[in-house]
């Protein structure tokens, strides 16, 4: 079942950088610039979508769109439910790898 709490955790607790690593070559182009993780905005195509490390949401400084993990997958034509399921799996594996970060 997809709950609000699940949606919140896959948006906030799975770092966008980790999601991009998992997506591998199919992910949008991304780059670490001055300590910020940036990626090619699926909306305008500029490499100016920048992840805010405080809330794990990205903001494109070109077209002003905001992005979360689910939005990025859906921009790649993923179905909402499929996106949630795969992100949930990646989040669980991520939390197992870094248990101290999730008391």
Listing from the earlier edge strand, what are the strands of the sheet with 57-60? 30-33, 36-39, 49-52, 57-60, 66-67
Q: Is 16 in the site for Zn ion (CB under 5 A)?
A: no
Whose Cβ is closer to Zn ion: residue 37's or residue 90's?
Answer: 37
96 neighbors 19 (Cβ within 8 angstroms): no
Q: How far is the CB of 24 from Zn ion (least distance, A)?
A: 22
Q: How far is the CB of 48 from Zn ion (least distance, A)?
A: 6
69 neighbors 8 (Cβ within 8 angstroms): no
Whose Cβ is closer to Zn ion: residue 8's or residue 64's?
Answer: 64
- Contacts to Zn ion by CB under 5 A: 41, 43-44, 60, 62-63
């Amino acid at each position: 079942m997809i709950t609000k709490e699940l949606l919140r955790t896959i948006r906030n607790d799975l770092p966008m950088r980790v999601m991009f690593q998992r997506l591998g070559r199919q992910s949008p182009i991304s780059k670490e610039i001055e300590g910020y993780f940036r990626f090619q905005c699926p909306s305008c195509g500029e490499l100016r979508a920048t992840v805010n490390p405080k809330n794990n949401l990205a903001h494109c400084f070109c077209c002003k769109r905001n992005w979360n993990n689910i939005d990025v997958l859906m921009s790649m034509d993923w179905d909402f439910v499929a996106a949630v399921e795969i992100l949930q799996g990646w989040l669980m594996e991520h939390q197992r790898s870094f248990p101290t970060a999730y008391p």
